[in-house]
Amino acid sequence: MQSMRIEIVTDEEALATRAADIVCDLVAANPKAVLGLPTGATPVGAYFELKLRSDSGRADFSGVTAFAIDEFSGARRGDAGTNSAFFRQHLRLPLRAIHVPNPAAENADEHIRAYAAAIRRAGGLELCLLGIGANGHIAFNEPGAGRDSRARLVILTQETREQHAPAFSSIARVPARGVTLGIADLLEARALLVLASGAQKAGAVGRAIEGEATDNVPASWLREHGDVTWLLDEAAASALGERARLAAT
Ligand code: GLP
């Protein structure tokens, strides 16, 4: 556990501020940083905070390159609910570039492997932000994804499709598949920052940090990383045992 940091903040708002602090510190030190970014409700506040700092000149993202860590497969780029639509709406930063996998790629498996190769060619991810699903998924690595899994086409669980139904306007419209960086790809990022907020994440956070490392909880593999920070609000940290809480800052 030495390489794992746990930071617990009061609420969602404090989480957004702290996440933005971490990203801005990194970008100040490395203006050409390459970042991996997730979608989901959790990072929206942090992305908004980054925009405020950029707009007011407190942070400069003009040299930063971002790579989305996953996307649906079987949709058109920009369709409501897709990750490309999400980033257009929520990541309003003047970045050097933002890359999102193509949800319409004909050979999705080949496409996402080439996408992962492009990340490596760009020098790899300096920092990868992650969310966590209530079932312990990270990016679209659903339960069953192994430590050595690589970028690939995946079948989404019903639970994950339900989570995304509102954005697609109905469950029937949520693609059955997605493309994702694999766990081994995510573990190659130089640093990982996992964000979790709300009581609905407490169980998954507890299992990922304190349970056994298992494919059933893909986020549990993150402990194999040498530089991982779990940034949690009180509600998301509520299932952690005393040992983890004592180790937290
Ligand atoms: C999605 C994304 C993940 C994200 C997760 C949690 O399925 N593919 O990258 O971390 O769900 O989302 P939320 O933050 O909305 O709970």
What would the pLDDT profile of 31-56 be if each residue is shown by its tens digit?
Answer: 999 999 999 999 999 999 999 999 99
Identify the pLDDT of residue 245. 86
CA–CA gap between residue 122 and residue 128 (Å, rounded): 14
Residues with catalytic roles: 70, 135, 137, 142
> Model pTM?
0.97
Compute how many other C-beta atoms are within 10 angstroms of the C-beta atom of residue 69: 31
Q: Is 50 exceeded by the pLDDT of residue 1? A: no
| Residue bearing the CA closest to ligand 1, atom 3 | 139
Q: What is the C-alpha to C-alpha distance for residues 219 and 194, in angstroms, rounded to an integer?
A: 9
Candidate of 15, 35, 42, 193 to mutate for ligand 1, largest count of ligand atoms within 8 Å of Cβ: 42
Residues 113, 150 contacting (CB under 8 angstroms): yes
Give the residue, by CA position, lying nearest to ligand 1 atom 6.
Answer: 133
The band of 200, judged by pLDDT with boundaries at 50, 70 and 90, is: very high
Cα separation, 59 vs 51, in Å, equals: 9
Residue 211 near ligand 1, beta carbon < 6 Å: no
Whether the predicted pLDDT of 236 surpasses 80: yes
Nearest atom in ligand 1 to 200's CA: 16
User: How far, in Å, from the CA of 147 to the mean position of ligand 1?
Assistant: 19
CB atoms within 10 A of CB 206: 18
What is the mean pLDDT of the segment spanning 79-101? 97
Cα end-to-end distance, the chain, whole Å: 14
Asked if 67 and 99 count as a contact pair (C-beta separation under 8 A), the reply is: yes
Which two structure tokens, joined as six digits, stand for 102? 């193509």
What does the pLDDT look like over 208-219, one tens digit per residue? 999 999 999 999
Q: How far is the CA of 46 from the centre of ligand 1 (A)?
A: 14
Task: Identify the pLDDT of residue 3.
Answer: 81
Contact 41 CB / ligand 1 (< 6 Å):
yes
Residue 60 has pLDDT above 80, yes or no: yes
Most distant CA atoms of the chain, gap in Å = 49
Residue among 146, 236, 147 at smallest CA distance from 197: 236
Tokens of 223: 């402990």
Residue 119 φ/ψ, nearest 5 degrees: -65, -45
The response to whether residue 231 sits with its C-beta less than 6 Å from ligand 1 reads no
Rounded to an integer, what distance in angstroms lies between the CA atom of residue 17 and that of residue 5?
17
Q: Atom 12 in ligand 1: which residue has the minimum CA distance?
A: 40
DSSP structure class, residue 141: B
Query: Which residue's C-alpha comes closest to atom 1 of ligand 1?
Result: 40
- The pLDDT of 88-113, averaged and rounded, is 98
The mean pLDDT of 132-156, rounded to a whole number, is 97
Q: Is 39 in the pocket of ligand 1 (CB under 6 A)?
A: yes
